[in-house]
């Protein structure tokens, strides 16, 4: 099972962002470093990004987000639509 807390060696505990469960199935997601953007040249190395995705193979939507940093990927994953009043 994936941890719901993402940390790096330079983060303080108060700055650690917690991942919310998948909005479709409730399983905790996983955050992974991803290298590559499909544009590999000798002058430009592949981009390093973070992917947050649902790890439940039975999740019917298979949601994921990709961002340039862990913090941004977690923020995007945790963003939810506001419920109608």
Query: How do residues 13-48 score in pLDDT, each as one tens digit?
Result: 334 479 999 999 999 999 998 876 555 555 666 668
Across the range 7-14, mean pLDDT stands at 41
Query: How do residues 40-76 score in pLDDT, each as one tens digit?
Result: 555 666 668 899 999 999 999 999 999 988 999 999 9
pLDDT number for residue 19: 93
Whether the CB-CB separation of 33 and 66 falls below 8 Å is answered with no
Whether the CB-CB separation of 50 and 30 falls below 8 Å is answered with no
Give the domain ranges of the chain. 31-79
* Residue 34 CB contacts under 8 Å (≥ 6 apart), including other chains: 48, 49, 50, 51, 66
Residue 47: strand, helix, or coil:
coil
Q: Is the pLDDT of residue 83 over 60?
A: yes
pLDDT number for residue 33: 87
Q: Tell me the pTM.
A: 0.67
d(C-alpha 56, C-alpha 51), whole Å: 15
Q: How many CA atoms lie within 13 A of 82 on its CB side?
A: 2
């Amino acid at each position: 099972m994936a941890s719901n807390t993402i940390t790096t060696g330079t983060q303080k505990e108060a700055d650690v962002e917690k991942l919310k469960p998948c909005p479709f199935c409730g399983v905790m997601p996983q955050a992974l470093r991803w290298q590559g953007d499909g544009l590999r040249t000798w002058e430009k190395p592949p981009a390093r990004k973070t992917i947050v995705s649902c790890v439940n193979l039975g999740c019917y939507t298979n949601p994921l987000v990709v961002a340039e940093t862990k913090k941004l990927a977690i923020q995007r994953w945790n963003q939810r639509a506001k419920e109608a009043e």
